[in-house]
Amino acid sequence: MLSNSHDFVRPADTAERAYLESLVRADYDGSHPGETFDDMKSRMSFSREDQGLYRDWMALAVARAETARASNPSLIAA
């Protein structure tokens, strides 16, 4: 997990970004009554607070993805 506020999650492509966002979208929506994850994303271009919130939620998503990957290792033939 990223440990510094100057570190950012940089998904490789839009598919990876969508996957990471899907890991936290419901939690964000449930913890912020009256707004959605997409509302926060739309405000990011002009709100430093929302940029920080998005960065923090994406860091959580990366941690969840790493946990899921560790619990379901893929088999690689040698």
The pLDDT, as a whole number, for residue 64 is 94
Residue 56 lies inside a defined structural domain of this protein: yes
The count of domains in the chain is: 1
pLDDT in tens, the chain (78 residues): 445 555 678 888 999 999 999 999 999 999 999 999 999 999 999 999 999 999 999 999 999 999 988 887 665 655
For residue 32, the enclosing domain spans: 21-66
Residue 15 lies inside a defined structural domain of this protein: no
User: How many H helices and E strands in the chain?
Assistant: 3, 0
Residue 41 lies inside a defined structural domain of this protein: yes
How far apart CA 69 and CA 34 sit, in angstroms, is 33
The pLDDT, as a whole number, for residue 9 is 80
Residue 78 lies inside a defined structural domain of this protein: no
The pLDDT, as a whole number, for residue 69 is 85
Evaluate whether 69 touches 16 at the Cβ level (below 8 Å). no
SS3 annotation, 45-71? CCCHHHHHHHHHHHHHHHHHHHHHHHH
Evaluate whether 9 touches 58 at the Cβ level (below 8 Å). yes
Residue 35 lies inside a defined structural domain of this protein: yes
